[in-house]
A and B are shown apart, each in its own frame.
Chain A
């Protein structure tokens, strides 16, 4: 095989990137279209919702509570210098609800669920189970990908809300240990500076996170080849791709939220 020059290799990589983005976008767009076409496969969606949401809840709650404790300690260390300890609940709640909760939940789900989707569909691909479904007149794309995408789009906001409240509760535990503040006062103060424009857009943007995670993982699963090696690669790449898409899309989504809700930008 003749060796390629650097420019040829860079050009080939760019072309491969564009080809990947194009294929992924087509996959994602097809999922959007297929989501509105019957059959809707509610049982399959429920099964995935159980796997992605219910089974992820312990991880999310634990991580959220830990993040709340850590954030509370850091916030206290900072605000204590200004004699503004009373602002700790509000500061922690703003940080959690606006950004930390959605982003962390997205990354955790990307790691746990994205890898699972990629590995599961990839294994079905390399073992020709998808071909068998197609042979039985089952729309494998709709049955395997769309149901997972919808389930994750439903699970992500719920998991984010769980993470937000778990973080606030963790912050309360840390604050109560230091100052003995009551739960009612802490909870009241936590929502002092929170408005609808803080909670709703930040929570709903995780629907996009769920969509991106599921689309990327499903696409990589459907694209798996070369046996078990391909399955592992699809699993790993699903986590990397999902996390990267979450972070990049978050930049765009925050900007969009600022545009529609100027109050959020302060």
Chain B
């Protein structure tokens, strides 16, 4: 029998069940904003990845409504028309320039439709309006793009291969041209052979000189002979002999390397690359040997034991000549040279530097004047010496000296750069206010180009 207590129990059971079911319905309706005042707008997508009727719609991230319906396109390539219901309270945020996009909640979340809040300048989207959309980008699109890219790369590689095939003939012609170039290089090497022989001869001559020096020492002649029993001098003499021996060894190595390279070139079976490499290696070795040779020669020139020897043979270092020695005619005392001076005024050569007015720089007019002044003496400079004398007449004595040196250096650097003069044969001489021999014996403010020509050259002129 259904007692009243049982009926109460049944009533509680039924009411609770229905109530919970209603709560569920209410929650779903609330999520879909089924009980809110809404307005409808539309947007269109070519792909509706993850979207379906009932999907959430968010306006600027806020839950705003749901998708009411999705109408498929009538033709391939058409767009799905998505009907969106949005709560009226968010209507002011939805403008005509608002952009709809398909978004995903988190990494594994479902898709929802995001509507960006438009700009204030754009009017509010009216009910029934269609707003713009941004097509979704998914992994499939990325893979498709990668596939297209790979196809393009393959096409490019194929084109490169075709181009290489077409260039085979050109490469063969280039090889033939390379062989011709090697022939030219061979001829060049033959020409270089003369220089190498000359280097060898110089080395031999230097060896002879060294032998002569040693013989002089052995005989006890001159200062060395008097001090022959001095251990220190003996050690230095030994060093000199060693240096001379190294020079001769270097020269022999150069000749030997050149000979081997010539053999390599002359061999019919020798690889082209090997020949070119040998030539390059030989030239590098020759350059290094000549550099060492020059350094050794320079060291010998400065060796106090041999300074006189080299001086007698016409060697000197312009940087070591003091103004006093220069004025005494150190460069002409041996009677082998004749000096000619060209006087140039500072006002015609220099102007204040724009950034540091205290300093000077060459003017264009001054450069032109230098060019015309040196023109007649360029031939003689091959065997002669150019000394740029600097003069200054203002300021203190030390200031005059510095200014005269700067002026001379400016002119020297310009001439070396412009005419590729030998730096060792082109010097500067700061003479301050002492301008003896100037035009009219007037105090000279500027520079003088002193050309020290060999007397044979001067006679030929």
Chain B residues positioned under 8 Å from A228 (CB to CB): none
Chain A residues positioned under 8 Å from B47 (CB to CB): none
Chain B residues positioned under 8 Å from A46 (CB to CB): 2, 6-7, 10
Task: List A residues 177-214 near B (Cβ within 8 Å).
Answer: 187, 191-200, 203
Closest Cβ neighbor of A159 among chain B residues: B17
Chain B residues positioned under 8 Å from A84 (CB to CB): 106-109
How many angstroms between the C-alpha atoms of A196 and B53 in the bound complex?
12
Chain B residues positioned under 8 Å from A49 (CB to CB): 10, 13-14
How many angstroms between the C-alpha atoms of A47 and B1 in the bound complex?
7
Nearest chain A CB to B112's CB is how many angstroms away? Answer: 10
Taking a contact as CB atoms closer than 8 A, the residue among B7, B9, B18, B106 that contacts A158 in the complex is B18
Instruction: Find out whether the CB atom of B17 lies under 8 angstroms from the CB atom of A263.
Output: no
Given A84-B109, A87-B106, A194-B31: A50 and B20 within 8 A (CB)?
no
Chain A residues positioned under 8 Å from B14 (CB to CB): 49, 53, 154, 158
How many angstroms between the C-alpha atoms of A200 and B54 in the bound complex?
15
Task: List A residues 38-92 near B (Cβ within 8 Å).
Answer: 43-44, 46-47, 49-50, 53-55, 57, 79, 82-84, 86-87
- 0/1 per residue, B89-124, Cβ < 8 Å to A? 000000000000000001111100000000000000
Nearest chain A CB to B418's CB is how many angstroms away? Answer: 74
Instruction: Find out whether the CB atom of A43 lies under 8 angstroms from the CB atom of B110.
Output: no
Instruction: Find out whether the CB atom of A54 lies under 8 angstroms from the CB atom of B28.
Output: no
Tell me if B176 is interfacial: C-beta within 8 Å of chain A: no
Instruction: Find out whether the CB atom of B17 lies under 8 angstroms from the CB atom of A161.
Output: yes
Tell me if B27 is interfacial: C-beta within 8 Å of chain A: yes
Given A49-B10, A263-B52: A162 and B106 within 8 A (CB)?
no
Nearest chain B CB to A265's CB is how many angstroms away? Answer: 10
Chain A residues positioned under 8 Å from B23 (CB to CB): 165
Tell me if B21 is interfacial: C-beta within 8 Å of chain A: yes
Task: List A residues 120-159 near B (Cβ within 8 Å).
Answer: 154-155, 157-159
Tell me if B32 is interfacial: C-beta within 8 Å of chain A: yes
Taking a contact as CB atoms closer than 8 A, the residue among A47, A158, A199 that contacts B13 in the complex is A158
Given A49-B14, A50-B9, A162-B16: A79 and B108 within 8 A (CB)?
yes
How many angstroms between the C-alpha atoms of A43 and B4 in the bound complex?
11
Taking a contact as CB atoms closer than 8 A, the residue among A82, A155, A157, A187 that contacts B108 in the complex is A82
Tell me if A164 is interfacial: C-beta within 8 Å of chain B: yes
How many angstroms between the C-alpha atoms of A203 and B12 in the bound complex?
19
Instruction: Find out whether the CB atom of B17 lies under 8 angstroms from the CB atom of A47.
Output: no
**SS class of chain B's interface: helix, strand, loop or mixed?**
helix
Chain B residues positioned under 8 Å from A193 (CB to CB): 110
Instruction: Find out whether the CB atom of B25 lies under 8 angstroms from the CB atom of A50.
Output: no
Chain B residues positioned under 8 Å from A97 (CB to CB): 24
Taking a contact as CB atoms closer than 8 A, the residue among B21, B30, B31, B106 that contacts A161 in the complex is B21
- Choose among B10, B14, B16, B109 the residue with the greatest number of A CB atoms under 10 Å from its CB: B10
How many angstroms between the C-alpha atoms of A135 and B220 in the bound complex?
167
How many angstroms between the C-alpha atoms of A154 and B10 in the bound complex?
11
How many angstroms between the C-alpha atoms of A159 and B16 in the bound complex?
10
Closest Cβ neighbor of B5 among chain A residues: A50
Instruction: Find out whether the CB atom of B17 lies under 8 angstroms from the CB atom of A83.
Output: no
Which size class do A's interface residues fall under? 35 or more
Given A49-B10, A53-B10, A162-B16: A191 and B27 within 8 A (CB)?
yes
Instruction: Find out whether the CB atom of B53 lies under 8 angstroms from the CB atom of A263.
Output: yes
Instruction: Find out whether the CB atom of B13 lies under 8 angstroms from the CB atom of A263.
Output: no
Instruction: Find out whether the CB atom of B20 lies under 8 angstroms from the CB atom of A165.
Output: yes
Chain A residues positioned under 8 Å from B10 (CB to CB): 46, 49-50, 53-54
Chain A residues positioned under 8 Å from B106 (CB to CB): 82-84, 86-87
Task: List B residues 1-60 near A (Cβ within 8 Å).
Answer: 1-2, 6-7, 9-10, 12-14, 16-18, 20-21, 23-25, 27-32, 52-54, 56
Instruction: Find out whether the CB atom of A158 lies under 8 angstroms from the CB atom of B17.
Output: yes
Nearest chain B CB to A107's CB is how many angstroms away? Answer: 18
Taking a contact as CB atoms closer than 8 A, the residue among B16, B25, B108 that contacts A199 in the complex is B25
Nearest chain B CB to A118's CB is how many angstroms away? Answer: 22
How many angstroms between the C-alpha atoms of A49 and B32 in the bound complex?
34
How many angstroms between the C-alpha atoms of A158 and B6 in the bound complex?
17
Chain A residues positioned under 8 Å from B2 (CB to CB): 43-44, 46-47, 50
Chain B residues positioned under 8 Å from A53 (CB to CB): 10, 13-14, 17
How many angstroms between the C-alpha atoms of A50 and B52 in the bound complex?
42
How many angstroms between the C-alpha atoms of A196 and B32 in the bound complex?
10
Instruction: Find out whether the CB atom of A187 lies under 8 angstroms from the CB atom of B21.
Output: no
How many angstroms between the C-alpha atoms of A84 and B31 in the bound complex?
20
Nearest chain B CB to A53's CB is how many angstroms away? Answer: 5
Instruction: Find out whether the CB atom of B54 lies under 8 angstroms from the CB atom of A197.
Output: yes
Nearest chain A CB to B286's CB is how many angstroms away? Answer: 71
How many angstroms between the C-alpha atoms of A195 and B25 in the bound complex?
8
Given A47-B1, A53-B13: A164 and B24 within 8 A (CB)?
yes
Closest Cβ neighbor of B53 among chain A residues: A263
Nearest chain B CB to A148's CB is how many angstroms away? Answer: 14
Instruction: Find out whether the CB atom of B27 lies under 8 angstroms from the CB atom of A194.
Output: yes
How many angstroms between the C-alpha atoms of A83 and B13 in the bound complex?
40
Chain B residues positioned under 8 Å from A158 (CB to CB): 13-14, 16-18, 21
How many angstroms between the C-alpha atoms of A193 and B106 in the bound complex?
14
How many angstroms between the C-alpha atoms of A203 and B21 in the bound complex?
9
Chain B residues positioned under 8 Å from A200 (CB to CB): 25
Chain A residues positioned under 8 Å from B9 (CB to CB): 50, 54-55
* Sample of 18 A–B contacts (CB below 8 Å): A44-B2, A47-B1, A47-B2, A54-B13, A55-B9, A79-B108, A86-B106, A87-B108, A87-B109, A158-B17, A158-B21, A162-B16, A191-B30, A194-B24, A195-B54, A196-B28, A196-B29, A199-B28
Known pairs A49-B13, A158-B14, A199-B25; list 18 more (Cβ under 8 Å): A44-B2, A46-B2, A49-B14, A50-B2, A55-B9, A84-B109, A154-B14, A155-B13, A158-B13, A159-B17, A164-B20, A191-B28, A192-B56, A193-B110, A196-B25, A198-B28, A200-B25, A263-B54
> Using a CB–CB distance below 8 Å, which chain B residues touch chain A?
1-2, 6-7, 9-10, 12-14, 16-18, 20-21, 23-25, 27-32, 52-54, 56, 106-110
